[in-house]
Structure 1
Amino acid sequence: MIARFQPFHYGHLNALKFCYERFGEVVVVVGMASQSHTPENPFTAGERVLMIRESLKWSGLPLDKLITVTLPTLEVSRVAVHYVKLYSPPFKHVVTLNPVIQRIFMEEGYTVVEPPRLARENYRGSIIRRLIAEGRSEWEQLVPPPVVDVIKSVDGVERIKMLYRERLPGYYATV
């Protein structure tokens, strides 16, 4: 399963549950691992791995069936498939909702599986990051409790607010 997990949310957790039910072992690829402290990628790779691990423990999913790998920031192209193969154990299926990632892996002969979409209008990293930036507490209902804990422990709320200051019109008036 390939995603950025910025941050890990219930849509991701739902997709991982789907993977656990369908496959014997799950390799989670944390993409754009070398990016952090930007509006689109505010969290470090280590913070995201911690979000995933703690959320899986919280949900009762077995960690012994999970392998987490990080993938450095790459231009999305067929070359990225090569890097995924280098950084992860062998795999047959790729689980993602990203149509470009789907295409490049299909072109390389992999079976691409779309996980079920869980309220995609709410469970999107961009929406969660914006809610955090706007100082709205609703974001906490869109992520598992351990993610809230990780974000707060790394001062992620203030980090995101700082990163979005230039982007949100009237930001200073609302915070």
Structure 2
Amino acid sequence: MLLYGRFQPFHRGHVSLVKWALSQGFDEVVILVGMASENYTVRNPFTAGERIEMARLSAKDENISLDRIVTATIETLEVSIGCAYYVLSYVPKVKAIMTRNPVIGKAFSDAGIEVISPPTFNREEWRGERIRAMIARGDPKWKEYVTPSVAKFIEEIGGVDRIRKISSED
């Protein structure tokens, strides 16, 4: 199962998707970090490597074996059927992609990949944009929307200060 996103940051909604996919009988989840070529911006403050680390930390916090997680990165792309084939060349073979985005779903469906629309998990609260805004305004509640190790990691890498600085420049 492919989970393709920006993961800015990797939050409880993302880890819920991973757990859901594994509960559906998929042996592993391939987490593909998109827009890997953009970081230190308001929309994409974290680097690709930091986002991979967050995914791994979330898995550990939720007792998901790292043997069941594959991570990869890909630069910023326009969505098209060609893009889907290109994306698939960056990851191990997958049978399906989890997405609620109809454009991405169509591109991958046209490329012969099963498209699964997963349930939403507290989507109104567990959204990267909302979490980044909370961090920017100094609301400590943001830590509830990521796993404990991810909150600690964001603080350790200076992510809070980074988001506040980037946000104040915007």
Normalization by structure 1: what TM-score? 0.91
Contact 2:8–2:128 at 8 Å: present in 1 too?
A: yes
Q: For 2:89, what is the secondary structure of its paired residue?
A: helix
2:118 matches 1:110: no
2:8 matches 1:6: yes
Q: For 1:127, what is the secondary structure of its paired residue?
A: helix
Shift of 1:107: 2.1
Amino acid at match of 1:11: G
Identity of aligned residues (%): 44
**CA-to-aligned-CA distance 1:101-153 (integer Å, 9 cap, x gap):** 11211222211112220111101100001111111111111111111011111
Shift of 1:55: 1.0
Contact 1:29–1:68 at 8 Å: present in 2 too?
A: yes
**CA-to-aligned-CA distance 1:48-97 (integer Å, 9 cap, x gap):** 00001011011101111111111111122222212211110111100122
Match of 1:144 among 122, 143, 147: 147
1:173 is aligned to none
Q: Which runs of 4+ in 1 moved over 6 A?
A: none
Following the alignment from structure 1 to structure 2, what is the Cα–Cα distance between the partners of residues 147 and 19? Answer: 21
Unaligned runs of 5+ in 1: 168-175
Q: For 2:164, what is the secondary structure of its paired residue?
A: helix
1:119 is aligned to 122
1:31 is aligned to 34
Q: How does 1:23-172 map to 2 (within 5 A)?
A: 23-167=26-170
Following the alignment from structure 2 to structure 1, what is the Cα–Cα distance between the partners of residues 46 and 99? Answer: 20
Q: For 2:112, what is the secondary structure of its paired residue?
A: coil
